[in-house]
Amino acid sequence: MFTLTKPEGFVVLDDQHNDDALEEGDYELDHEVFQPVLDALEAEDSEALVRALEPVHAADIADIIEQLGHEERVALVRLYGGELDGEILSELDEGLREEIVGAMSPTVLADAVRELETDDVVDLIEDLDEPQTAAVLGALDDDDRAVVEQSLSYPEESAGRLMQRELVFVPEHWDVGQTIDFLRNKDDLPEQFYHVILVDPRMRPTGYVTLGRLMGSARKTKMVDIAEDSFRTIPVMQDEGEVAYAFNQYHLISAPVVDADERLVGVITIDDAMVILDEEHEEDIMRLAGVGESSLSDRVIDTTKRRFPWLAVNLVTAILASMVIAQFDDVIAKFVALAVLMPIVASMGGNAGTQSLTVAVRSLATKDLTSANVWRVIRREAAVGLINGLIFAVVMGGVGYAWFGTPMLGVVIAVAMVVNLVVAGLAGVIIPVVLERLDIDPALASGAFVTTVTDVVGFFAFLGLAAVMLL
């Protein structure tokens, strides 16, 4: 019989907790943790700060740092001193790493990076400038520095940058007993690993065995006889987005990385792959909104620079829509009701287009939308747009007639609603598919095109029909 001790700042789940409780933020930072940190910083009390953060997980310490202002972050680095380890640095938002590393003393930085695995060191260095990169590399011993520099020689966002060199491999002809004895006698095993990789005499991986199967098998069992069916290798030049997709698609825990000659050069583990997958999802969401790689800790000027170009693009699209409206100024002057109802058509088309666009971009990223099913998806979105258009056409036709007492006005907005929602559904799928075929990121560029199409078509259909049917 034993008792679990609840760490400060966390909620231990028991039988009384349910899904609703989780949704209320049980894993969010507790005020009882955050406030003592603020108090210690204000009092410049290093000992109190260490006491407040001692029971807190590295990921939560990183969250605390991200929620502080610049001056408070610098004070925390100064007061926390040697307690600021490499795990905390690896958990920090990329936009803050350079600032935090710059505030650390060379001695503290050296101690921190020595604790990291090579893939984490590479990830850290990628976000730093030249002097800080040199400081981090200088803190490593010769072997680790050579490994990190070799990883940095691979292209950004490739498997070579993502992999770690700390791995466990044995000859493919060994049995379980030989492998266990080898592991017990090896004094430099990785801190965490999931598979023992099997290699042939040319150092080419031929399979792997999970630690569970290894420990549960008889000593005389051949390693090849308990190898996993899920074995796959990752080319060292493979795009990291493709790597993350493979891990998610095939439920991999780890995968060996091979060079052009199929020789083993490293391993990628699920934690790193899932970080990339999460970053890919976040990147798609940010780009759909036209804000790029932004975070709450970014400076005002940096955020402004990222958002300005897409606001400028939206201004151009708005001008194009206004030019369409300008062609029908005589119609609008005679029927003021058109100016009242016009935004409804454009807004409904814009929302419908965004819905289709979001689904299409996500499906392209997960490879669910391919050339094999693209026409079926296009037909489906057109059908959805038609059905929704007909439903809202009836609603808005009735609203237009009841509001302004003109039956033909109700017909005009009803027909325009159907046309724009069908076009919105088509544009939301076709535009990102075409952009991807042109090697243009659909998440980055699709939104502006879809908005332009729905605004222009919506205004033209509504005002054009009004010019024909009401004059």
Written as one string, the DSSP assignment of 23-52 is HTTTTSPPHHHHHHHHHHHHHT-HHHHHHH
State the Cα–Cα distance between residues 189 and 124, nearest whole angstrom: 22
State the Cα–Cα distance between residues 258 and 463, nearest whole angstrom: 61
Q: For residue 47, name the pLDDT band (cuts at 50, 70, 90).
A: confident
Distances in Å between the alpha carbon of 55 and those of 5, 48, 430? Answer: 11, 13, 52
User: Tell me, what's the pLDDT at 6?
Assistant: 40
Is the CA virtual torsion 85, 86, 87, 90 positive or negative?
positive
Q: What is the pLDDT of residues 187-197, one digit of tens each?
A: 888 888 999 99
Instruction: Please give the average per-residue pLDDT across 247-254, as a whole number.
Output: 90
Q: Report strand pairing: 169-171 vs 195-199.
A: parallel
Instruction: Please give the average per-residue pLDDT across 140-163, as a whole number.
Output: 86
Burial class (CB in 10 A: 0-12, 13-18, 19+), 269: buried
**Residue bearing the bigger pLDDT, 289 or 374:** 374
User: Tell me, what's the pLDDT at 132?
Assistant: 75
Highest mean pLDDT among 201-205, 249-253, 366-370: 201-205
Is the CA virtual torsion 74, 79, 82, 86 positive or negative?
negative
pTM greater than 0.85 (yes/no): no
Residue 12 predicted with pLDDT over 50: no
2 secondary structure, DSSP code: -
What SS3 state is found at 60? helix
Helix or strand run (H / E) with residue 265 = strand 264-269
**Residue bearing the bigger pLDDT, 328 or 383:** 383
State the Cα–Cα distance between residues 396 and 101, nearest whole angstrom: 59
Q: Which residue has the tokens 């972050």?
A: 73
Q: What is the pLDDT of residues 263-272, one digit of tens each?
A: 999 999 998 8
The chain-wide mean pLDDT, for the chain, equals 83
- Least confident stretch, 17-26, 282-291, 411-420: 17-26
Contact in structure between 293 and 280 (CB atoms under 8 Å): no
User: Tell me, what's the pLDDT at 5?
Assistant: 40
Residue 463 predicted with pLDDT over 50: yes
3-state SS track over 325-343: HHCCHHHHHHCCHHHHHHH
Q: For residue 111, name the pLDDT band (cuts at 50, 70, 90).
A: confident
DSSP per-residue string spanning 97-121: HHHHHHHS-HHHHHHHHHTS-HHHH
**Residue bearing the bigger pLDDT, 278 or 471:** 278
Instruction: Please give the average per-residue pLDDT across 166-176, as a whole number.
Output: 94
Q: Which two tokens stand for residue 19?
A: 């899904």
State the Cα–Cα distance between residues 105 and 185, nearest whole angstrom: 37
Instruction: Please give the average per-residue pLDDT across 189-206, as a whole number.
Output: 92
- Least confident stretch, 59-68, 307-316, 363-372, 379-388: 307-316
Helix or strand run (H / E) with residue 143 = helix 142-152
Task: State phi, psi for 89 to the nearest 5 degrees.
Answer: -60, -40
Q: For residue 287, name the pLDDT band (cuts at 50, 70, 90).
A: low
